[in-house]
Structure 1
Amino acid sequence: MSMPNIPDIKPNIDLDREDMINLLLASIALEEIGLSHIINAEGEKIQKGIQLACNIEDLIDLNRGVERTLQTIIKKEMILQFKLENVLEIPSTHRPKPKRSSKED
């Protein structure tokens, strides 16, 4: 039995600093949109639960489930905040020119 041949793949990806930052910011934004949809779904779940609940235990169970989901979302939000802070700290490729002191004779 012979070994499988892996093709020599060399993708050429050429991203400059601005493209990279834009892609990172877009990924954060897309994750935020996804979380907002989950939060909205949890709100709709509560509304339906209030309409259909037969007793207080059903509402308490519903509340516990929503609470766990929101705790998970909060954790994800913290990670996204760290990600955003890291993106904003990406160093510039242009170094500022040193200021010359102007001495008058």
Structure 2
Amino acid sequence: MDKLLELMAEIDIPSAYDHFAEGESPDPPFITYLLPGSDNFAADGKVYFRITEVHIELYTDEKNPEVEALVETVLDAHGIFYDKTEVWIDSEKLYEVLYSFETED
């Protein structure tokens, strides 16, 4: 988790784990991040190597390649291989760009 917090500090966009408290969401762009699961490696019936799934969700009110490039530059600088997807959330009037990757614990 410390490495993830370092990434968030480098990206330097308002961020929160999972969600912002009701009524405290900043104006876009902002990020939420979470650790939705694991993909651990087993050996001899035990967890031999811990791998944590990470989601970084970037929210913008319009398509913003510059902000996406900022996030990607930080991830690239740390040698993180990520998948990227994008969706328009009509009910929120926001774009969500999701960066998914795995990291060692």
Q: Which has the larger radius of gyration?
A: 1
More helix by share: 1
Query: Does 1 or 2 have the higher relative contact order (CA < 8 Å, sep 6+)?
Result: 1
TM-score category of the 2 structures, normalised to the smaller one:
under 0.3
More strand by share: 2
TM-score, length-scaled by structure 1: 0.25
